[in-house]
């Protein structure tokens, strides 16, 4: 509404009318604002200080203290109000002075101090220019210095700390490890390349093979190996020098027949049924005298 009113009134009433209305309620200028802010800050600080003092004195319920604190608050408020009034008066006086001294000052500045002013501006501009030119180098140097300083500081700090112990004390390593996908890590390893980097010859050179062999019972081992792979059977089947398969069958069958007949005879004669034990017993009976005789 106000905006619309202004638009209507400017062509009708002339240019003079709105100006006084604007200046009659001028927006608080910079000085006034700064003064108000400073006073506000001081007021807040004083208020806080008073509250802290009350809290520290720790006897808020006593009547005397209560009265004195009210007195302090009243005095503080009065002082602040006075300060506000003073600031306002000072601002008004300054405004008056500026209006009075404005034209001659601007004349002086515009004519008398124009040369030095421009020279100063040029100087500042040159300084600014040179700063812009130097800026990358200066920044780089500053960066280097900062990095170095930080580095040294960190080293100094780390020297004072037992990081391993800190990690052991404060880090749940099991949880960390369980969150790591070890399969993926292993999958990324090039095992062939690692194996290729190992000098097996050098390792083999360091082995004392002679000593290893000396600890083996080669004779017994060979017998066991021959037994396992049935080497005689291989030789028999490959060369056929010894009993052929047919002869083996005949021998086994006759042996079976021998045993059967011995069993029958033993049963008929009422001897112990299996002939094998008797076969073992008899020779030992005979062997004794024979051996002594020999």
Partner 1 sequence: MPETEPAILSVPAEARDFQGERAGIVSRVIANAIDLAILVAVLAGVYLGWSAFLFLRHGSSFRFPTVTYPGVYLAGVIVLTLLFTAAWSTTGRSYGDRVLGLRVVDRHGARLAVGLAFVRAALCVAFPLLLFWAIIDRRSVQDLILRTRVIYDWTEQTGSDHARGMRVDVASAVAHEPEHRDAESVGGFDGER
**Is residue 248 near partner 1 by the rule CB under 8 A?**
yes
Of 86, 96, 124, 250, the one binding partner 1 (CB under 8 A) is: 250
Q: How far apart are the first and last CA of the chain?
A: 152
Task: Give the shortest CB-267-to-partner 1 separation in angstroms.
Answer: 12
Spatial distance between the Cα atoms of 82 and 27, rounded to a whole number of angstroms: 22
Task: Count other C-beta atoms under 10 Å from residue 79's C-beta.
Answer: 14
Cβ nearer to partner 1, comparing 118 with 251: 251
CB 35 within 8 A of CB 90: yes
Of 48, 138, 255, 273, the one binding partner 1 (CB under 8 A) is: 255
Spatial distance between the Cα atoms of 269 and 102, rounded to a whole number of angstroms: 160
Task: Give the shortest CB-230-to-partner 1 separation in angstroms.
Answer: 7
**Is residue 283 near partner 1 by the rule CB under 8 A?**
yes
Q: What is the DSSP string of 244-267?
A: -HHHHHHHHHHHHHHHHHHHHHHH
CB 91 within 8 A of CB 32: yes
Q: Judge residue 36's burial from the number of C-beta atoms within 10 Å of its C-beta, 0-12 exposed, 13-18 middle, 19 or more buried.
A: middle
User: What is the per-residue binding string for partner 1 in 202-231, x denoting contact by CB under 8 A?
Assistant: ---------------------x--xx--xx
Cβ nearer to partner 1, comparing 45 with 221: 221
The residues of the shown chain that bind partner 1, judged by CB under 8 A, are 223, 226-227, 230-233, 235-236, 241-243, 247-248, 250-252, 254-255, 257-259, 261-262, 265, 269, 275-276, 279-280, 283-284, 286-287, 290-291, 294
């Amino acid at each position: 509404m106000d905006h619309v009113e202004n638009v209507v009134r400017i062509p009708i009433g002339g240019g003079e009318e709105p100006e006084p209305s604007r200046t009659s309620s001028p927006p608080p200028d910079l000085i006034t604002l700064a003064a108000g802010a400073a006073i506000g800050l001081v007021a807040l600080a004083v208020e806080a200080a008073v509250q802290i003092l009350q809290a520290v004195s720790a006897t808020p319920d006593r009547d005397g203290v209560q009265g004195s604190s009210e007195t302090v608050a009243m005095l503080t408020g009065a002082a602040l109000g006075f300060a506000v009034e003073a600031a306002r008066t000072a601002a008004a006086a300054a405004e008056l002075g500026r209006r009075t001294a404005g034209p001659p000052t601007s004349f002086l500045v515009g004519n008398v101090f124009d040369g030095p002013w421009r020279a100063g501006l040029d100087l500042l501009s040159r300084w600014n220019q040179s700063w812009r030119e130097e800026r990358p180098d200066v920044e780089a140097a500053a960066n280097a210095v900062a990095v170095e300083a930080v580095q040294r500081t960190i080293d100094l700090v780390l020297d004072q700390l037992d990081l391993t112990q800190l990690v052991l004390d404060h880090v749940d390593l099991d949880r960390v490890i369980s969150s790591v996908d070890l399969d993926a890590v292993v999958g990324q390893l090039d095992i062939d390349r690692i194996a290729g980097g190992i000098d097996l010859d050098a390792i083999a050179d360091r082995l004392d093979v002679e000593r290893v062999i000396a600890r083996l019972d080669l004779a017994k081992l060979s017998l066991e190996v021959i037994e396992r792979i049935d080497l005689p059977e291989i030789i028999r089947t490959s060369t056929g020098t010894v009993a052929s398969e047919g002869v083996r069958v005949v021998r086994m069958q006759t042996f079976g027949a021998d045993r059967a007949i011995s069993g029958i005879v033993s049963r008929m004669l009422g001897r112990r049924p299996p002939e094998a034990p008797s076969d073992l017993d008899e020779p030992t009976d005979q062997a004794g005298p024979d051996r002594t005789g020999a």
